[in-house]
Amino acid sequence: MKEATQTHTDTKVVSRQEMLDSALDDEKEKLRTVIQELFPPSHILLPQINQVYELDLAYGEYKALSDAELIQRGAYFRSVHGMLTHHFRICMNTPEQVDASARQERKNFFAANIFAVGYATHGLFPYRGKFHPQMIKAVMNMMGLRPGDVVLDPMAGCGTTAIEASLMGINSISYDLNPFGCLMTQAKVDALDIDCSFFPRLLASAEETYNKLHVHMESPALLPPAWYFRGSSAATIELGRPLDRLPDRVQLLLLLCYFDSVGYASRRKGKSPKDLFPALLSRYLAAVSAFSQTREELDLKLGRAEVMEGDARDLELPNQSVDGVLFSPPYSFAIDYVENDRPQLEMLGVDLSCLKANMVGLVGYGRTAQERVASRVSNYFLDMKKIMQHCERVLRPGGYCVIVVGSNTNQTGGVSLEDGLIEIGGTIGIPLEFQVLREIEGIRNTMREESILFFRKAASATGAGCQA
């Protein structure tokens, strides 16, 4: 009797799995049918597209770009008329940016998102809350931005917009209040165009390099403020020289790797930053070298990137000086960015309490938790109105301001952040034109979805926002 019961149970389990597999096959078939309806056989999408928002963005690109532009700048296409896209070729030549000892879950995530997150220099220094580079590429295409145009990211984070803009030949201006965010952004965009010929010698001296970096960080006065670095014209490199004789962009790349080793060590038991630095440096140099090779093969003309430490609520830019605005306000209701970056900020000598007091979404007062949440939400919208007014002011007539915002009403007392931003946009002269909804995979425990809000300034606008 016991054996019969066990057999019956196993049969039910197999049957349930078969039902799940069948349902998944049905969904895949529906997706294939939709793709066939939207795109001609000559336009082949990337193999890992499995969400509705990705089809929305792919179709937006298809309608906005010519076939030649899709090959050069498309984000969701593998090939057009048999020609492989630049995006596909860049991603396929990107080495794995996951440590061999990393959890299988993490390895699976990067394997499943090879075209979305870790290509070019995006994979340097993992950062919580960053948006998908592939998505940002498609959004800029839908905004109508072209090579030579200028896109503004007033809250740059780890530099995703600036990197993608550079890859597409679009110039960018990035602001961030967080000095470490500025350092990351500058390091990643500088590494897109770097001399890799001496990398083998640099890697062979990884321990020596770490020791020199450690000495510099113990005496920060020896190292100029990293976010002021620009590319140097130094032609020769000798590893025996002090680090400050290396080209500026190489210094920044090494410094970012050093910071990465410090943060990584805090999450690895029994490992010091010095232990982890050589493997991280190897991955950094491999990623930069691989992109450098692809950049030369594709003859990419990179856009210029300007990175500035500054407050998005007080942008010092001329009226109507940018062609588009694209940013994501910090997910401060879900992620405390100051605490997240504490080790790096402390090494840079940043006053954490001062920074935290000025971060959007972190300031709230009250005797009870409910009062503090209500205060944070209220201050968030006051700050976002100032930021959006400046965005409207500096945006050219007819240009798009796109905001990617995540919202979990459990952390905002039931308030929808996206609804509040839509209301603000309508009152300051950049009404919402359309939006795309994206499910979030990486931090679903704190945020389940985010909205891509396409605001647009009227073609005849004269500037309804605040004045410089």
Determine contact, residues 378/452, Cβ cutoff 8 Å: no
% of the chain with per-residue pLDDT over 70: 78
% of the chain with per-residue pLDDT over 90: 51
133-185+302-468: in CATH 3.40.50.150 = yes
| Cα Rg of the chain (Å, integer) | 23
What's residue 64's pLDDT?
97
What are 98-116's pLDDT values in tens digits?
665 656 555 555 665 788 8
Q: Return left, alpha or beta for 79; rule: phi > 0 is left, psi -120 to 50 is alpha, else beta.
A: beta
What's residue 376's pLDDT?
86
Among 100-114, 130-144, 240-254, where is mean pLDDT lowest?
100-114
Domain ranges of the chain: 23-96, 133-185+302-468, 193-301
What's residue 436's pLDDT?
95
**Beta-strand relationship, 395-406 and 83-84:** unpaired
What are 320-360's pLDDT values in tens digits?
999 999 999 976 566 777 888 888 888 888 888 998 888 88
Query: What average pLDDT does this structure show over 124-135?
Result: 79
Greatest mean pLDDT among 147-161, 198-212, 331-345 lies in 147-161
What's residue 74's pLDDT?
97
Query: Global pTM?
Result: 0.85
What's residue 89's pLDDT?
97
Please report where in the chains the tokens 């939400």 appear, as a residue: 377
What's residue 130's pLDDT?
62
Cα-Cα end-to-end distance for the chain = 83
Determine contact, residues 187/256, Cβ cutoff 8 Å: yes
Among 110-114, 131-135, 214-218, where is mean pLDDT lowest?
110-114
What's residue 320's pLDDT?
97
Query: What average pLDDT does this structure show over 6-13?
Result: 43
What's residue 99's pLDDT?
61
What's residue 48's pLDDT?
80
Please determine, for residue 83, whether its predicted confidence score (pLDDT) is greater than 80: yes
